Homo-oligomer: A and B are copies of this chain.
Amino acid sequence: MSISVFEHPVLRGLFGQDEIASLFSFAEDLRLMLEYEAGLVLAKGDAGLLPPASAERIAAICRDFQPDIERLKADTTRDGVVIPGLVGQLRNAVGGSGAEYVHTGATSQDVVDTAMALRLARAGALFHDRLGELDKALDRLVGDFGQNPIKARTRMQAAQAMPASNRLESWRGIVNANTERLSAWLQQMPVLSFGGAIGALDALGEQGPEVKGHLARHLGCKVTGNWHSNRHLFVDFANICSAISGSLGKIGQDIALMAQNEIDEIALAGAGGSSAMAHKRNPVAAEILVSLARFNATQVSGMHHALVHEQERSGSAWSLEWMLLPPMTACAAASLDTARRVLGDVERIGKR
């Protein structure tokens, strides 16, 4: 399959990231959704809505459940979301009077959003690590080449000589600005969604909040108010993905400009070959950083449009998020990995 460059059998060397592909695999999504359903039954057990042993038994069935994927696909096409079909199959598997404890009190969006929040939080943690690696890669470059003179350039014109460390430190500042924003976001994540049909957490009566607390604990999530139509945390993540790609796109653009033959202020191992000109050494990874930046800068707009999330829950704005968030995450991850690679490939900064 290869509509997406992030999953293309050949191009994924340029764009793909195995960790992100795993994170957004349906297997992982399914695992988390079933974990939610299991956690919800356990939470009801904790709150005394059913005997703990029954809750354990049903939760185990949830966790091990392997749905009929073709039926799930057909049901999803009709329902617009995977949960009604999945819960139907799951309740059949649980059977008897236990089936009523499955999912009851939640709604599709609770499960899907929580599974997304859990994955975005893990992607964010990965980004955090990778930003730290870039900081270290810049340490190396400052140490090895920081004293070499390069030309400061403004408005595409040579301004005056400066040590390479000036530019490297400006890169570092731009990279680390993302770390700050990401850390603030991570502190609020992952967040549980558990509002039920209309977000009012009313199906379980007075025990709703207690069940919610237990469910959050089982899933390792934070508790907050209902956010069915409050998409700020997802938009914040999109902003961060795009800011990461944009920041590293700036570095990529700088490197591609430094690598121009007549300017030659950088030497890169692993530059790309041409099918028509054997002598060429193309700064491929640097160029890809620019492509990734422009990709995410394009996508981020769609996530802002998805803020217009009508009424209690929107089908169309919500589905739009599914179209945008995984590629944006994959793109930011690719930016980080490509930047690590290109900084690692630097053999020289400054004139020969």
Contact = CB atoms under 8 A, between A and B. Distances in A.
A283 B157 CA distance: 8
Interface residues of A, number: 141
B308 A304 contact: no
Interface string A1-35: 11111111111111100001100111001000000
A76 B21 contact: no
B7 A1 contact: yes
Interface stretch (A54-62, A131-139, A141-149, A198-206): A198-206
A191 interface: no
A310 B156 contact: yes
A28 to B, nearest CB: 9
A345 to B, nearest CB: 10
Contact of A8 (B26, B74, B111, B197): B26
Interface stretch (A39-47, A77-85, A213-221): A77-85
B280 A293 contact: no
Contacts of A114: none
B2 A154 contact: no
A230 B177 contact: yes
B14 A2 contact: no
A79 B284 CA distance: 6
Given A3-B330, A199-B166, A312-B153, A84 B274 contact: yes
Contacts of A200: 152, 162, 166
Nearest to A326: B3
A196 B154 CA distance: 11
A223 interface: no
A155 B303 CA distance: 18
Contact of A3 (B24, B106, B296, B308): B24
A79 to B, nearest CB: 4
B197 A73 contact: no
A76 B260 contact: no
B159 A327 contact: no
A79 B153 CA distance: 16
A247 B307 CA distance: 6
A324 B323 CA distance: 13
A290 B337 CA distance: 28
Interface of A: 1-15, 20-21, 24-26, 29, 69, 72-74, 76-84, 87, 103, 106-108, 111, 152-160, 162, 166-167, 170, 173-174, 177-178, 181, 184, 196-200, 203, 225-230, 232, 235-236, 239, 242-243, 246-247, 249-250, 252-254, 256-257, 259-263, 270-277, 280-284, 287-288, 290-291, 293-302, 304-317, 319-320, 322-324, 326-327, 329-330
Q: 9 closest pairs, A vs B, by CB?
A: A246-B307, A13-B77, A80-B284, A287-B315, A298-B302, A297-B304, A4-B4, A152-B198, A290-B316
